[in-house]
Amino acid sequence: MSTNTFLAVYLGSKDGSRMAAWNKLPEAERKAKEQQGMAAWGAWVQKHQDVIVEMGGPLGKTKKVDAGGITDISNVMTGFTLVRAPSQEAAAKLFENHPHFAIFPGEAVEIMPVLPIPGR
């Protein structure tokens, strides 16, 4: 069975209700959840290490470049990972109950295929 590469983009709003609730947690509780989340994320990586192409990582502030120049913008992309799977559905199943939103205040993970460059 052939496999394809998929880009998983972690999404979460700095101004959303999940982040507001996270920020309202007492510091000790938030730190405990951070440790729990990082342990769960590490376990997720360990479980799926054979299909992770690139672990990726958190994303920082965004600059947009267009015909008008360079501007600072805000979006909801917080990180990314590249995985291999036989289908987009199979790739999506890798992220069910992911710590990004099951423990941390992230909102979702979007999975899209990395397509071949036309003409190559």
- Segment 2-25 mean pLDDT: 93
Q: What is the pLDDT of residue 102?
A: 96
Q: What is the pLDDT of residue 120?
A: 79
In angstroms, the CA 22 to CA 69 distance is 36
Chain mean pLDDT for the chain: 95
pLDDT band at 1 (very low <50, low <70, confident <90, very high): low
- Segment 86-107 mean pLDDT: 97
CA terminus-to-terminus distance, the chain: 22
Q: What is the pTM of this model?
A: 0.92
- Residue holding tokens 């998983």? 8
Whole-angstrom Cα Rg for the chain? 16
pLDDT tens per residue across span 16-75: 899 999 999 999 999 999 999 999 999 999 999 999 999 999 999 999 999 999 999 999
Q: What is the pLDDT of residue 3?
A: 82
Which architecture, in CATH terms, is 4-113? 2-Layer Sandwich (3.30)
In angstroms, the CA 96 to CA 52 distance is 15
- Segment 71-95 mean pLDDT: 97
- Segment 93-102 mean pLDDT: 97
| Contact (CB, 8 A) for 103 and 16 | no
pLDDT band at 119 (very low <50, low <70, confident <90, very high): confident
In angstroms, the CA 18 to CA 31 distance is 16
